[in-house]
Amino acid sequence: MTVTPPLPLPTDVLPHRPPFLFISDIVAIEPGARAEARWQLTGDEFFFAGHFPGRPVLPGVLQIEAIAQCGGLTLWGDDRFAGKLGLFGGVEKARFRRQVNPGDTLELSFDMARLSARAGKGAGRATVNGDLACEAELFFVIVDA
């Protein structure tokens, strides 16, 4: 079952808070299976000043984190995960295909491949204007918050 509008705010679902919340809005959630979200990059984000001065580029590790946060949305709505926190367990097959710059909107998607009460695995993608920017497989463990 896909959750239809009105969708929750990212802060209603994720434990992350600025400046480390990389989801601007939630597009779709299918609990336990799939999520889609967006991250609108304004150019005012703290990391652009130093990465790189005069030629700002979104760091690849933050693209992976944004995909992971999108994956975290899939835990919402499942009572097994109330009061729980998903933590990185591993990243595999990460590939970066294009630069992401201030003003871009990163379209995020995550498809859960395996999910239990203690861990999960899935694959995520980040695109800009339909062009693949980043893709990776992510593993995570679920712990008490």
Q: 128: domain CATH number?
A: 3.10.129.10
Structural domain includes residue 27: yes
The total of structural domains in the chain comes to 1
Structural domain includes residue 3: no
pLDDT at res. 6: 84
pLDDT at res. 4: 64
pLDDT at res. 111: 98
* Rg, Å, the chain Cα set: 15
Indicate the helix (H) or strand (E) that contains 11.
helix 10-13
Share of the chain above pLDDT 90, in %: 91
| Residue whose C-alpha is closest to residue 74's, from 22, 26, 11, 136 | 26
φ, ψ for residue 131, nearest 5 deg? -90, 130
Q: What contacts 127, CB < 8 A, 6 or more positions away? A: 106, 107, 133
Structural domain includes residue 76: yes
Structural domain includes residue 31: yes
| Residue whose C-alpha is closest to residue 136's, from 120, 119, 117, 122 | 122
Q: Can you list the positions of beta strands (E) in 1-145?
A: 25-30, 34-40, 84-96, 105-115, 119-128, 131-144
Q: Domain limits at 68?
A: 16-144
The sheet that has 84-96: what strands, in order across it?
25-30, 34-40, 105-115, 119-128, 131-144, 84-96
Active site residue 51: yes
The catalytic position among 27, 30, 33, 51 is: 51
Structural domain includes residue 56: yes
Task: Centre a 10 Å sphere on the Cβ of residue 24 and count the other Cβ atoms it contains.
Answer: 16
pLDDT at res. 3: 67
Structural domain includes residue 21: yes
Least confident of 2-11, 24-33, 125-134: 2-11
pTM attached to this predicted model:
0.95
Identify whether the C-beta of residue 39 lies closer than 8 Å to the C-beta of residue 106: yes
Structural domain includes residue 79: yes
Q: State the pLDDT confidence band at 78, using cuts at 50, 70 and 90.
A: confident
Task: Centre a 10 Å sphere on the Cβ of residue 13 and count the other Cβ atoms it contains.
Answer: 21
Structural domain includes residue 8: no
